[in-house]
Structure 1
Amino acid sequence: MCINIVSAAQSLQAMKGMIIRMKKDLELYIHIPFCARKCNYCDFLSGQASQDEMLKYTDFLCKEIKNQGSLPLEYRVVSIFFGGGTPSLLPLEQIGRIFDKIKECFEIVPTCEITIECNPGTVTKDKLFGYYNLEINRLSFGLQSANNEELRLLGRIHTFEEFVENYEHAREVGFQNINIDLMSALPYQNLESYETTLEKVLKLKPEHISAYSLILEEGTSFYERFSEHGDEKDAIPDVILDRLMYEHTKEILLSHGYNRYEISNYAKPGRECLHNIGYWRRIDYLGLGLGSSSLLDHVRYRNLDTMNEYEKALKSSLKVRQVEEMLSKNAEMEEFMFLGLRLSKGVSKKEFEQQFLVSMDEIYGTKLMELQKNGLLMIDEVYVSLTDRGIDVSNQVLVEFLLDDTVI
């Protein structure tokens, strides 16, 4: 009888293990829509708020996390990303409350990558130490430039020297995985200024660097000043200089041991951002907080994006998450290609067939051959990826993977 009891217990434990392993991977994005001051180029859903408003938002965010129904039974969390806005503007206690609620409601894998975006000037050594104690294991600093004149033009609240102080504090408290965000093609920027920024950042030896070209977004003060309709339109670097900055970024970072694993992202070996790779590979993700987006079981959602609507929904048990698009098979194949091709490794033919039960060649064969012939794609037995020339004109290449409605 004892033997049978032991065997039954072992079988039950094994079944529990199988249930855990059967859970699907899930990424969590936590949106903190607050900033000290709106940057001149920013069109993100963010703005200034009082301490009381931040506390109130945290209360509702924790309630949203709790109200996820059966999702925690279906998924295990493999990455968490606190973005914004400026998440580091939120008091440490509130970040702790949010994180505690996540741990209370979800299974978090031991290897979970947990990132928080930090703007220089909004963190102290004590706050960074608090993040470290919360088991946040990755920081992303929004530097943008090492040139203080450029920082002032962008509307940033910090100097390069203040950033370096924050960065050194992060190292002192124990962080070993840090990203630095940079921007190029800024108004009045030249190649020498941009390369000086790269050189200064490389001396700090971060594990990861994200380097993006400025995009002029409608509704921003930069758009009014520097777009083709603005009085200072000639201040924006032309296409040739923008391309040169991009090429020099790749060459300089590669010479310092950073691999470009995605069109705009570079990392030391093994330090690629798992959360971002998950987006490009279309892993299910849950957006929490005002205006955040989700991809769950072939459906795209978007949260309510005004504070009044968000608050009202959580107070009255209405749905915060609104259906944005129920993805067809065609739409998912399109996304598989034009998201996955952002990765330097490209897209896997085998994974395509496993997901869609049809070969990539059957759907895209003619288009693949045409793009390869034009030097825009590299194709082997396993992967399809963009060439350097393909990356240069990636927007034009990726649109080629849109499908006619008759293709199934």
Structure 2
Amino acid sequence: MKEIDGRGFRMESLGIYIHIPFCIRKCLYCDFLSFPKGRAQQALYFDALEKEILLSATGCGKYEVQSVFFGGGTPTAVMPEAIVRIMKALFDNFSFKDDAEITIECNPGTADLDALKAYRNAGINRLSIGLQSAKDDELKRLGRIHDREMFEECYRNAIKAGFENINVDLMSALPGQTLTDWEDNLKYVCTLDPAPCHISAYSLIIEEGTPFYELYGEDNENKDIAVSVNMQDGSEYCQNPRLPLPDEDTERQMYHRTEEILSSYGYRRYEISNYSAKGKECIHNLRYWQGGDYLGLGLGASSLMKNERYHNTSDFERYIETLNGDFSIGEAEGKDGAISLSAENQRLLDIREDVEPLDEKARMEEFMFLGLRLTAGVSANEFRSRFGKEIGEIYGGVIEGLREKNLLEWDGDTIRLSAEGLDVSNYCMAEFLL
């Protein structure tokens, strides 16, 4: 993949995602692959993860790592030594750019000053803190384990530990949340001292299989009495009375006020839900949206390598047993009885699922609907370079149709969604499916 105006990535560059599936308690809205596990199970997991790193590195010799992202779950919910161990394994087995961006997600209440110093000393240089709300009542409704004071302690400690590149996550459209509540949350984060370099601001989505779906799913929309759900840790959550979600008009106002307020504090919107100070865009996430290669390591982690998508198994026992287990009798052996490299690499294939080679059609679709998430848009010249075709030849009708509706702009080489188009981005992106 060639460099584009300083925004793209060379074919030899690589992003690595590390999935840490453990958490102290699953939040009410969360549908991510995460769960509480004891120290013994965590130890087995990190043994397997280190093994996957060693095996995966053998096929990545031509790559230079530009970004690493520890996500979860809550990566900071495990012992810091486990993360330090994984960082060492990465540095020992992959080639890194000198200025590689290395991010770890952190929830307040899961990392003290010593832990944050350990992460920083291990080479992690970017922290993403999951605040979600600056109001304790809203945090409680989400099932978060922290309050505002715990966030402020975490933020202060992060600065003391040497983190200069910090993202803060905020979530809108929460139960009982008003427009003023959301505006207060935005202003609170913007006035932190020092201010964060990056803010991710997105709205709550009610996902099936979560406690919130029991409270707010389609079958429960008209409930106005006290409701309760069983939490993963065996406790019961009760909301009395059941607080309504913001209506559609209020949610739309929240969406528009987000950019208005953040831009007034100097943050530039560079992606649908992401804002940053100049030059502090998240390099790892840009890779996803611009189609760069990335390697997912850990339970359920997804990868895009050499125009092929796949993800690891989400079965904890299968992941552990495949990577940690002994080879069965009859597996290929090399000289002197040593297990052959091909037999070792078979372990990687055995944890992969839904392997999908991307044909040209799929790659063109992804180039458009992922790239249009960025306010910078996509490049017609880059489209020609990648696919040997003019973008108008493939998408001319779609582009003109969206332009006529004032949803899309084409300015020289750049095609981007308009302000109105960003408001209905899902509709616009769906138009580029061939």
Q: Calculate the TM-score normalised by the size of structure 1.
A: 0.92
User: Offset of 1:69 from its aligned partner?
Assistant: 5.7
User: Offset of 1:398 from its aligned partner?
Assistant: 0.6
Distance 1:71 1:22, change over 3 A: farther
User: Offset of 1:74 from its aligned partner?
Assistant: 2.3
Work out the CA distance in 2 between the residues paired with 1:311 and 1:83: 19
User: Offset of 1:234 from its aligned partner?
Assistant: 7.3
Work out the CA distance in 2 between the residues paired with 1:70 and 1:377: 43
Work out the CA distance in 1 between the residues paired with 2:375 and 2:433: 20
Distance 1:176 1:307, change over 3 A: same
Q: How big is the alpha-carbon RMSD for the aligned residues of Structure 1 and Structure 2?
A: 1.4
1:225 to 201, 215, 223: 215
Work out the CA distance in 1 between the residues paired with 2:278 and 2:428: 28
Asked whether 1:343 is paired with 2:374, we answer: yes
Work out the CA distance in 2 between the residues paired with 1:307 and 1:352: 40
C-alpha contact 1:72 1:105 (8 A) present in aligned 2: no
Secondary structure of the corresponding residue to residue 60 of structure 2:
helix
The equivalent residue for 1:9 is: none
The equivalent residue for 2:125 is: 137
Asked whether 1:207 is paired with 2:197, we answer: yes
1:292-347 deviation per Cα after TM superposition (whole angstroms, max 9, x unaligned): 00000111011011111111221245322234311110011000000000000000
1:117-171 deviation per Cα after TM superposition (whole angstroms, max 9, x unaligned): 0000000001111111111110000000001011011000000111001101111
The equivalent residue for 2:230 is: none
Paired amino acid for 1:346: G
C-alpha contact 1:23 1:73 (8 A) present in aligned 2: no
1:312 to 302, 321, 337: 321
1:97 to 78, 85, 88: 85
The equivalent residue for 1:11 is: none
Percent of aligned pairs with the same amino acid: 50
User: Offset of 1:180 from its aligned partner?
Assistant: 0.3
The equivalent residue for 1:372 is: 403
C-alpha contact 1:146 1:200 (8 A) present in aligned 2: yes
Work out the CA distance in 1 between the residues paired with 2:362 and 2:400: 21
Work out the CA distance in 2 between the residues paired with 1:135 and 1:69: 19
What are the within-5 Å matches in structure 2 for residues 162-311 of structure 1?
162-204=150-192, 205-230=195-220, 231=223, 235-311=244-320
Work out the CA distance in 2 between the residues paired with 1:254 and 1:361: 33
Work out the CA distance in 2 between the residues paired with 1:365 and 1:71: 39
In structure 1, stretches of 5+ residues that fail to align are: 1-20, 404-408
Asked whether 1:357 is paired with 2:388, we answer: yes
What are the within-5 Å matches in structure 2 for residues 17-96 of structure 1?
24-68=12-56, 70-96=58-84
Secondary structure of the corresponding residue to residue 218 of structure 2:
coil
The equivalent residue for 1:5 is: none
Paired amino acid for 1:169: N
C-alpha contact 2:87 2:123 (8 A) present in aligned 1: no
In structure 2, stretches of 5+ residues that fail to align are: 1-8, 225-241, 328-343
Secondary structure of the corresponding residue to residue 246 of structure 2:
coil
C-alpha contact 1:299 1:323 (8 A) present in aligned 2: no
Distance 1:387 1:60, change over 3 A: same
C-alpha contact 2:44 2:320 (8 A) present in aligned 1: no
Distance 1:389 1:56, change over 3 A: same
Paired amino acid for 1:223: Y
Work out the CA distance in 1 between the residues paired with 2:123 and 2:57: 26
User: Offset of 1:287 from its aligned partner?
Assistant: 0.2
C-alpha contact 1:141 1:178 (8 A) present in aligned 2: yes
Paired amino acid for 1:80: V
Distance 1:396 1:98, change over 3 A: same
Secondary structure of the corresponding residue to residue 68 of structure 2:
strand
Work out the CA distance in 2 between the residues paired with 1:323 and 1:85: 22
Work out the CA distance in 1 between the residues paired with 2:379 and 2:133: 36
Paired amino acid for 2:369: F
User: Offset of 1:227 from its aligned partner?
Assistant: 2.2
Work out the CA distance in 1 between the residues paired with 2:11 and 2:408: 35
The equivalent residue for 1:7 is: none
Paired amino acid for 2:139: L
Paired amino acid for 2:356: E
1:345-377 deviation per Cα after TM superposition (whole angstroms, max 9, x unaligned): 000111111111101011001111111111000
